[in-house]
Amino acid sequence: WCLDNHPFQNVKVGEGAEQEGFQYHSILNKFWEACGHFSEIANVPIPQIDSPDDFKWSSVETDQTMFPDLQIKLVKEIISTGGVLSSIPIQDTSKDYLTPKEWHHEMQKMKMNGNDDNTVLIDCRNHKEFAVGHFENAIDPNTKNFAQFPRWVQENKSSLQDKKVLMYCTGGIRCEKASAYIRKEMEGISVHHLKGGIHKYLDEYSNTGFFNGKNFVFDKRLVVNADEHKISKDKDN
């Protein structure tokens, strides 16, 4: 609906990074205006974003169409938890971010301290994603889907108590909800999560950081080598 009512073909496409950046922002502004209009018609709350990172542009060298179509839906949860996490207010998910640089520093400290017992590093993704790649010394909750994560938290409260908890996922969506859930269930606990997820971290550090293996992604590629992110970043800049 938003695309049909605000066609993007009128946006001029220039050459070079500045024109490309302008094109992206023009498209985003038009789309955002349309979303607001859609909210009025559908009688639903106007969408809110916390930062420009909520919209992530990526460049991929491929002849394939990664996402052949676009679907816009009204859903209670972006990633289903069976309703367990649907009641968490959005403002509670936007707390205690760590930028890729800050996260990298935390990984360095953990390595220097021999995987400090006072720090717990949790992978919020599913086991199949963890199996192809993860951060050093990360805990695998061994879940088949995100709906199982709250149960894992309940079963492991004692091992999380009085710890500094670091969490990450692919793009930052799941760990926003997961970190908010832990704060809700364990008052006073220190919980931080990687802003932008593995994707943004690899854009910064590629294969020179602390992520080992491949990043599981949700398009036709399925998995992406760490050094491929460096190629994409250099191309954009």
Active site residue ranges:
169
Residue type, 161: Q
Report the largest interatomic distance among the alpha carbons of the chain, rounded to a whole angstrom.
57
Rounded CA separation 76/5 (Å) = 24
Query: Nearest 5°: CA angle at 51, between 70 and 66?
Result: 25
The encoded tokens of residue 13 equal 């496409």
Rounded CA separation 213/123 (Å) = 14
Chain-centre distance of CA 155, in angstroms? 25
Rounded CA separation 125/127 (Å) = 7
CA distances in angstroms from 17 to 8, 13, 14, 58, listed in the order given:
19, 11, 9, 14
Residues 6 or more apart in contact with residue 214 via CB below 8 angstroms: 132, 133, 223, 224, 225, 226
